[in-house]
Amino acid sequence: MAVVSNTVGYMDGDVLLEAFFAFDDALQGRRPVVLINHTWAGRDEFVAEKAKKLALLGYVGFAVDMYGKGVLGSNPEENEQLMRPFMNDRQMLQKRMLAAYYAAKLMPWVDDSKIASIGFCFGGLCALDLARTGVELKGAVSFHGLLGKPDNILGNSIKAKILALHGHEDPLVPIEQVLAFEQEMTSAGADWQLHTFGNTLHAFTNPQANNPDFGMAYQADADRRSWLILENFLTEIFS
């Protein structure tokens, strides 16, 4: 077993983007692909490691780039400036996600009938918004993601199975947003599930998250449990 990784360029209009991908070259044939959506900081080592972990499970891991080749934030202020345009224009966010979706489908190792999307924080919202477009997607998974629905998509049915992994004490996603998400998913006819981890803040999968005053903290048990839930979910949707 040997995980091969590299980067690949793709375009959204005139914006050059660069994804990181990984797969196990000991496996034969095409396999499912999992899009991995980054936090507000940009396509960094955190999502690259997730791509490699998914490759070890027999998938192609495709770490999406939302901001542009080489664009990364270095502090919360820069991260906010990078993320904010997409939060303000969800149609732009969805278009950027669809560019990644179609780029991943073209990869020679990918079974383009078996695509899922996962994401962390801002990336969780990106994964959910891809599903909200109604595109052919087996599943979408949000890890401590923002759950607010877009205002440009009304009445779409959601074909993907939905999994939201949420920290009960996450101040960025208040209970009102959680309840609205549940109602939205039900109205869209989605096969959805929500797992809530008690005594858990935002960014619970990130060992570098150490700002409880801002509502962010790593939680090792929630990190481990949520990944196991993801593994079971991927096995189900790709079977």
Q: What is the pLDDT of residues 36-57, one digit of tens each?
A: 999 999 999 999 999 999 999 9
* pLDDT number for residue 155: 76
Query: Does the pLDDT of residue 164 top 70, yes or no?
Result: yes
* pLDDT number for residue 156: 83
Mean pLDDT, range 143-157, rounded to an integer: 91
Q: Tell me how far apart the alpha carbons of residues 67 and 182 are, in angstroms, rounded to a whole number.
A: 29
* pLDDT number for residue 154: 75
Q: Tell me how far apart the alpha carbons of residues 120 and 194 are, in angstroms, rounded to a whole number.
A: 15
* pLDDT number for residue 141: 98
Mean pLDDT, range 5-24, rounded to an integer: 98
Give the tens place of pLDDT for each residue, 178-191: 999 999 999 999 99
Would you give the DSSP letter of residue 149?
P
Q: Where are the beta strands (DSSP E) in 15-149?
A: 15-24, 31-37, 60-63, 110-120, 139-143
Within the chain, how many helices (H) and strands (E) appear? Answer: 6, 10
How remote is the C-alpha of 234 from its chain's centroid?
13
The CATH number for 9-238, chosen from 3.40.50.10480, 3.60.15.10, 2.20.25.90, 3.40.50.1820, is: 3.40.50.1820
Instruction: Report the chain's terminal Cα–Cα distance, integer Å.
Output: 22
Nearest to 62 by CA among 26, 93, 95, 17: 17
Nearest to 50 by CA among 95, 117, 128, 113: 117
Mean pLDDT, range 227-236, rounded to an integer: 98
3-state secondary structure of 37: strand
Banded model confidence at residue 1, pLDDT cuts 50, 70, 90:
low
Query: Does the pLDDT of residue 175 top 70, yes or no?
Result: yes
The residue extents of the domains of the chain are 9-238
Mean pLDDT, range 5-19, rounded to an integer: 98
